[in-house]
């Protein structure tokens, strides 16, 4: 009997608010240590937390985005609680979080399972999402005095939305698909910058294995995974470890494990026995967080204005239904708001060439981004420019091969990435003048009597060699369709 893998994911999403969740200090990343910590973040005596309204608005946005715009999953009253423990980078000696009554309960994320045209949709339900503050950072290396640890409280008080999924993923691939879909949602609705390297989007995976039909196995929580690739590798390692352990007669112990990317393994950090008693209790410094219908509807209005009430799920469906794209194309185009925005811009400037635009964005553009290791937001070629290139393919000005060449020049920034200017300057127009093509054909036919004879004796394939010769003679500028058509006419004469 095979093993069934059970995965649930907890994600810490850093909210892209201007200031911290309970103080007015800035949340900008990368400032010199302790320059973005106010008296509140330092927990100086007498200081008190004040709720950041933008963080609440972001939580509402998330609630709307993961529930088809329905509002019953958004708590009208939620409670901030204190999670008590001592650590040098936790200034108050407690973290303000939400425990019993979180701001969002329920919702779902749809993920694509499988690839290509056989891809299907699977719904992953969310348990909850709650607001909390981040801790600071302890620095144990790279300080001027050796053997001394430093504390940077710039991050202390940065707002987080912790999103907890149900344990409904059944493979590392599904877990990655979920993480990517969630990443897509939070960046799409603009509540997170999605930067995994800077820790803006952090996933912890709860992994267990069982025989199908049996109760849930003992789980381990994997922490410290800062890319989708590592998430997949960490889960696969952990699954192997657990199966081997059980098959060797051992037992999985509930513990927290750290993923070490260099050695591609997970290591035990602490087990349940040493789990701390956090002594949660409602924070008496903060009133219950009240959210009313007006706030929810105002937020919905903002999302409609920004065009983000369309969460990836529904835009994906729109791409399939109204733009006639494949599930696979639609999935790729909705991996982030940037991709979708790029597609719609390209579609508009290309003369509504949906399929061609999708091919170009998911193909040449995506692989070029990948090669250069940059984000779509930083791409030298934007959707509008790409659309204008696609337009020239559609109207026959460029062959697809020539279009790739033009794209290369656009990427290099020639003529401000303007396809038409490049075509003009480089003389890359397809030859569509019948007379000119006929002249080349006559020339080629005269020089390739053997191929002509073969074709006439019924060898259909011989025409490919002749087309190739014509294209070569035209330096690739002749319209291949026209060449085909004229050549057959001549050979039939």
In the complex, which residues of this chain contact another protein (CB under 8 A)?
39, 42-51, 82, 84, 86, 88, 91-94, 149, 151, 277, 279-281, 284-287
Q: What is the DSSP annotation of 100-128?
A: SS-SEE--EEEEEESSGGG-EEEEEEEEE
Nearer to another protein, 26 or 84 (CB): 84
Indicate the residue among 136 and 194 with the shorter CB distance to another protein: 136
* Rg of the chain on CA atoms, in Å: 29
Q: How far is the CB of 176 from another protein (least distance, A)?
A: 35
Least Å from the CB of residue 282 to another protein = 9
**CB of 42 or CB of 261, closer to another protein:** 42
The CB-of-215 to another protein minimum distance in angstroms stands at 24
Burial class (CB in 10 A: 0-12, 13-18, 19+), 241: middle
- Whose tokens are 């909850």? That residue is 128
Comparing CB distances to another protein, the nearer of 151 and 346 is 151
Q: Are 258 and 266 in contact (CB under 8 A)?
A: yes
Minimum Å distance from CB 220 to another protein? Answer: 22
Helices (H), ranges, 427-479 = 434-447, 449-456, 462-473
Quick one: three-class SS letters along 375-438? CHHHCCCCHHHHHHHHHHHHCCCCCHHHHHHHHHHHHCCHHHHCHHHHHHHHCCCCECCHHHHH
The encoded tokens of residue 146 equal: 């050796």
What's the min distance (Å) between Cβ of 49 and another protein? Answer: 7
Question: Residue 48 or 492: which CB sits closer to another protein?
Answer: 48
Phi (first) and psi of residue 225, to 5 degrees: -110, 115
H-run or E-run covering 368: helix 366-372
Residue 340 per-residue DSSP state:
H
| Paired tokens of 37 | 């910590």
Minimum Å distance from CB 270 to another protein? 14
The least CB distance from residue 156 to another protein, in Å, is 11
Taking the least distance from each CB to another protein, the nearer of 3 and 278 is: 278
The distance from CA 400 to its chain's CA centroid, rounded to whole angstroms, is 28
Contact (Cβ atoms closer than 8 angstroms) between residue 11 and residue 176: no
Q: In the complex, what is the shortest distance from the CB of residue 277 to another protein, in angstroms, rounded to a whole number?
A: 5
Shortest Å distance, C-beta 164 to another protein: 20
Cα separation, 428 vs 475, in Å, equals 10
First CA to last CA distance, the chain: 69
Can you tell me the distance from the alpha carbon of 16 to that of 132, in angstroms, rounded to the nearest whole number?
Answer: 14
| Minimum CB distance to another protein smaller for 82 or for 128 | 82
CB of 149 to another protein, least distance (A): 8
Taking the least distance from each CB to another protein, the nearer of 45 and 427 is 45
Q: Which residue(s) pair with 281 in the sheet?
A: 82
**What is the C-alpha separation between 432 and 482, in angstroms, rounded?**
7
Select 48 or 446, whichever has its Cβ closest to another protein: 48
CB closer to another protein, 49 vs 63:
49
């Amino acid at each position: 009997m095979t093993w069934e893998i059970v995965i649930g994911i907890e994600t810490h999403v850093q909210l892209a608010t201007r200031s911290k969740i309970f103080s007015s200090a800035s949340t900008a990343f990368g400032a010199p240590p302790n320059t973005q910590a106010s008296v509140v973040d330092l927990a100086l005596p007498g200081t008190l937390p004040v709720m950041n309204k933008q963080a609440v608005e972001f939580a509402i946005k998330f609630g709307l985005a993961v529930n088809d715009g329905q509002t019953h999953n958004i708590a009208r009253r939620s409670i901030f609680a204190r999670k008590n423990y001592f650590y040098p980078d936790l200034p108050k000696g407690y973290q303000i979080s939400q425990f019993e009554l979180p701001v969002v309960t329920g919702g779902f994320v749809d993920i694509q399972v499988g690839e290509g045209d056989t891809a299907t949709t699977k719904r992953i339900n969310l348990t909850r999402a709650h607001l909390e503050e981040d801790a600071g950072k302890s620095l144990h290396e790279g300080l001027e005095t050796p053997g001394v640890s430093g504390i940077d409280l710039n991050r202390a008080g940065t707002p987080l939305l912790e999103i907890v999924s149900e344990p409904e993923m059944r493979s590392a691939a599904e877990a990655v698909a979920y993480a990517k879909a969630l990443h897509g949602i939070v960046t799409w609705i603009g509540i997170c910058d999605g930067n995994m390297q800077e820790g803006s989007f952090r996933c912890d995976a709860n992994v267990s294995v069982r025989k199908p039909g049996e109760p849930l196995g003992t789980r381990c929580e994997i922490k410290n995974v800062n890319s989708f690739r590592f998430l997949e590798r960490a889960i696969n390692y952990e699954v192997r470890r657990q199966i081997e352990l059980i098959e060797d007669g051992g037992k999985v112990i509930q513990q927290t494990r750290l993923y070490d990317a260099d050695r591609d393994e997970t290591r035990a950090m602490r087990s349940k026995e040493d789990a701390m008693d956090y002594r949660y209790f409602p924070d008496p410094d903060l009133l219950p967080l009240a959210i009313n219908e007006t706030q929810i509807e105002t937020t919905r209005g903002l999302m409609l204005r920004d065009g983000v009430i369309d969460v990836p799920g529904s835009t994906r469906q729109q791409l399939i239904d109204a733009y006639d794209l494949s599930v696979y194309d639609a999935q790729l185009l909705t991996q982030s708001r940037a991709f979708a925005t790029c597609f719609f811009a390209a579609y508009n400037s290309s003369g509504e060439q949906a399929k061609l635009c999708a091919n170009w964005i998911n193909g040449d553009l995506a692989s070029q981004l990948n090669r250069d290791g940059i984000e779509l937001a930083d791409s030298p070629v934007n959707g509008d420019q790409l659309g204008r290139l696609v337009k020239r393919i559609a109207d026959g000005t460029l062959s697809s091969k020539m279009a790739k060449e033009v794209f290369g020049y656009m990427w290099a920034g020639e003529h401000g990435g303007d396809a038409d200017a490049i075509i003009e300057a480089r003389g890359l127009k397809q030859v569509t003048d019948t007379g000119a093509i006929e002249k080349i054909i006559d020339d080629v036919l005269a020089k390739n009597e053997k191929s002509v004879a073969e074709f006439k004796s019924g060898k259909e394939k011989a025409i490919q060699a002749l087309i190739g010769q014509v294209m070569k003679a035209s330096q690739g500028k002749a319209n291949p369709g026209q060449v085909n058509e004229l050549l057959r006419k001549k050979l039939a004469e």
